[in-house]
Amino acid sequence: MIVLNRLQLSISRQWFDSYSHTFAGEGMIFVPLLQVKYEHSFRVEKLAYRIAGELEWSEPDIRCSQAIGLLHDVGRFPQYTEFGTFYDPSSVDHGDLGQEVLIKDFPWEYFDEPLPLKILSSVKYHNKRIIPEGMDEEILPYLKLVRDADKLDVFEVVREHVSTDRVKDLLPGISLEEKVSEGLVREIEQRGSASYSNVSTLLDFLMVQTTWILDLNYHPSFRILEANGTLEWLREQLSSDAASGAVFEMVQERIHGNTFS
Ligand SMILES: [Fe+2]
């Protein structure tokens, strides 16, 4: 049984706040993209709280999921500072780096086993394309939860940047040409997911995001997605692409199975 008490959650918050700010500039101000990640981290903590609460987890378990939500992207700060990008393939795997950072710098003296293992594994694997086979059953619920919370917030971050014409700030390399790259839909239909190596336009990116819905784990996550109107928004953005219909059908089926079963 994993327990995380209130003091440990508050220590996690304090540590995250001070560690992330070691990457801030003058006046403790972050560059815009790190500010986005900083705010994302706290929102993922809140989403973890909401999902775990709706799942009726115990209070210590909810707090554990909050701490993981808050810490999941800690690797983003050194990644961006060293490489100037959030693109893992051309820099470093930010889940792996997050785990390294935590091993080295987190105040573990306040946390007894098995908490460190749960936190470290969830951070390391939050961004992997699929959850590796044989993952410890005790870690799985937390890992699945942070993966859901993370995706739910990134949907909103991207949507907000698109709606305010700032998507180039968020995804600097992306082309705004209104087309979906050849091969992407085929890859999705065959594998149910797509790799970022096939992404060059914003519509490609939104198509990949649409497939994230296939990977959501918990019913409350699907409910939040519905409440946010995420799928409708994605469908509207991709409406010019005839081939996207097949992807939306797959996704719709998955949503249906999770909101009405
Ligand atoms: Fe991440």
Residue 165 lies in a domain: no
**Model pLDDT, residue 246:** 83
User: Ligand 1 centroid vs 123 CA: distance in angstroms?
Assistant: 8
**Model pLDDT, residue 3:** 62
User: Ligand 1 centroid vs 149 CA: distance in angstroms?
Assistant: 11
Cα(157)–Cα(151) distance, integer angstroms = 10
Burial bucket for residue 62 (CB in 10 Å: 0-12, 13-18, 19+): buried
User: Ligand 1 centroid vs 8 CA: distance in angstroms?
Assistant: 22
Both 127 and 181 in one domain: the answer is no
User: Ligand 1 centroid vs 85 CA: distance in angstroms?
Assistant: 13
Residue 158 lies in a domain: no
**Model pLDDT, residue 219:** 96
User: Ligand 1 centroid vs 34 CA: distance in angstroms?
Assistant: 12
Both 72 and 133 in one domain: the answer is yes
**Model pLDDT, residue 96:** 98
Both 141 and 182 in one domain: the answer is no
Closest C-alpha to 124, from 171, 158, 88, 83: 88
**Model pLDDT, residue 255:** 87
User: Ligand 1 centroid vs 212 CA: distance in angstroms?
Assistant: 13
Each residue's pLDDT tens digit, 50-82: 999 999 999 999 999 999 999 999 999 999 999
Both 10 and 83 in one domain: the answer is yes
Both 44 and 130 in one domain: the answer is yes
**Model pLDDT, residue 18:** 98
Residue 57 lies in a domain: yes
**Model pLDDT, residue 113:** 86
Strands (E) across the chain are located at none
- Domain final residue, candidates 134, 149, 164: 149
Residue 162 lies in a domain: no
**Model pLDDT, residue 211:** 92
Both 128 and 11 in one domain: the answer is yes
Look up the domain containing 102 and give its range: 6-149
- Domain final residue, candidates 116, 134, 149: 149
Cα(198)–Cα(180) distance, integer angstroms = 10
Residue 208 lies in a domain: yes
Both 36 and 127 in one domain: the answer is yes
Contact 82, 91 (CB under 8 A): yes
Closest C-alpha to 185, from 201, 161, 163: 201
User: Ligand 1 centroid vs 72 CA: distance in angstroms?
Assistant: 6
Both 29 and 135 in one domain: the answer is yes
Both 144 and 56 in one domain: the answer is yes
Cα(250)–Cα(211) distance, integer angstroms = 9
User: Ligand 1 centroid vs 90 CA: distance in angstroms?
Assistant: 15
- Domain final residue, candidates 133, 149, 165: 149
Both 56 and 116 in one domain: the answer is yes
Contact 52, 145 (CB under 8 A): yes
CATH number for the domain harbouring residue 57: 1.10.3210.10
Q: What are phi and psi of 179, to 5 degrees?
A: -145, 155
Both 186 and 131 in one domain: the answer is no
**Model pLDDT, residue 100:** 98
Structurally, the chain folds into a number of domains equal to: 2
User: Ligand 1 centroid vs 128 CA: distance in angstroms?
Assistant: 9
**Model pLDDT, residue 260:** 59
**Model pLDDT, residue 1:** 44
Residue 157 lies in a domain: no
User: Ligand 1 centroid vs 242 CA: distance in angstroms?
Assistant: 31
User: Ligand 1 centroid vs 154 CA: distance in angstroms?
Assistant: 9
Burial bucket for residue 253 (CB in 10 Å: 0-12, 13-18, 19+): exposed
User: Ligand 1 centroid vs 173 CA: distance in angstroms?
Assistant: 18
User: Ligand 1 centroid vs 129 CA: distance in angstroms?
Assistant: 11
Both 134 and 199 in one domain: the answer is no
Residue 10 lies in a domain: yes
**Model pLDDT, residue 240:** 86
Residue count of the chain:
261
Cα(156)–Cα(41) distance, integer angstroms = 13
User: Which residues in the chain land under pLDDT 50?
Assistant: 1
User: Ligand 1 centroid vs 77 CA: distance in angstroms?
Assistant: 11
